[in-house]
Amino acid sequence: MGRIAVIYDSLTGNTRQMAELVAEGARRLPAMEVSVRGIEDSDAAEIARVADGIALGSPTNLGVMSWRMKRFWDEQMAPHWMSIDGKIGCSFSSAGAWGGGSEITCQALNTILMNFGFLVFGLTDYVGKASSAHYGAIAVREPREEDVRESCRKLGERLSEWVGAFIDRDPALHPLVREPGRKRPGS
C-alpha cells in the first residue's frame, strides 16, 4: 500500500480546502493510505519515514510560499536531506487573484521538492475547457468553481497513480493504462 501525505499551510482556510480536495482525489485509488496535515501539526521525521508521495500546498504570499512553509523545510525537514530522495511530489496554491503568483508559488514549492531529490510532476490533463494544473493546482481564494475543485482532485489522483506505478510497482495504476485514449474536454 502506498502512502500519500498532503501537507499544507493556510492562514484563512483556502489552501486547507484545496488540501482536502487533493486528498479526496488521492483516495480515488483505494490502494493508497492518505493523510492530510497542516504544517504546524506535521512531523518531519514521520514524513521522511512514511510518505511515498507528498502534495505540498501553500498560500501565495508576496508571490512565493508562506514563511511558515519555508521554515518547515529549512528547519524541520533539512536534517533528512540526502536520505529521502525518490519520493514523488507535487504542489498547489491559493492566491488572492489570478495572476497573483500562484503558479510561481507552485514552482517554488516544486523547487524545494526537487532540492530534496523528489520526482516532481504536473498534469497534462484538462479538467475543463480552459483549466488545468500543469505546474500544480491553483485557486483564487477558496476553491469554489467545479473545474478548480476537480483540478485539485486530479492532482491527488495523479499522485496516487504515480506512487502506485513507480513505488508500489503496479503497472495497472499508470494513468495511461487506467484511462487509455484520454482526451481534453471539449476538443
Binding residues for ligand FMN, rule: CB under 6 A, are 10-15, 59-63, 94-97, 100-101, 141
Question: What would the grid cell of residue 8 be?
Answer: 499544507
Among 143, 186, 118, 181, residue whose Cα is nearest residue 18: 143
DSSP per-residue codes, 31-85: TEEEEEEEGGG--HHHHHHH-SEEEEEEE-BTTB--HHHHHIIIIIIGGGTTSST
Those residues with Cβ within 8 angstroms of residue 117's Cβ, 6 or more apart along the chain or in another chain: 82, 84, 85, 86, 87
Grid cell of 160 as nine digits: 496516487
Q: Which is nearer to ligand FMN, 32 or 55 (CB)?
A: 55
By C-beta, is 2 or 59 nearer to ligand FMN? 59
Would you say 52 or 103 has its CB closer to ligand FMN? Answer: 103
| Smallest distance from ligand FMN to CB 40, Å | 13
Q: Which residue, 22 or 32, is less far from ligand FMN as judged by CB?
A: 22
CB of 102 to ligand FMN, least distance (A): 7
Q: Strand 126-128 relative to strand 32-38: parallel, antiparallel, unpaired?
A: unpaired
Rounded least distance, CB 187 to ligand FMN, Å:
30
Instruction: Output 101 or 175, the one with its CB closest to ligand FMN.
Output: 101
What are the angstrom distances between the C-alpha of 71 and each of 26, 51, 106?
26, 20, 16
CB of 101: closest distance to ligand FMN in angstroms?
A: 5
Nearest residue (CB) to ligand FMN, 11 versus 176: 11
Helix/strand/coil percent split, the chain, to 5: 45, 25, 35
Minimum distance from residue 136 beta carbon to ligand FMN (Å): 14
Least distance in angstroms from the C-beta of 23 to ligand FMN: 15
Q: Phi, psi at residue 169, to the nearest 5°?
A: 55, 45
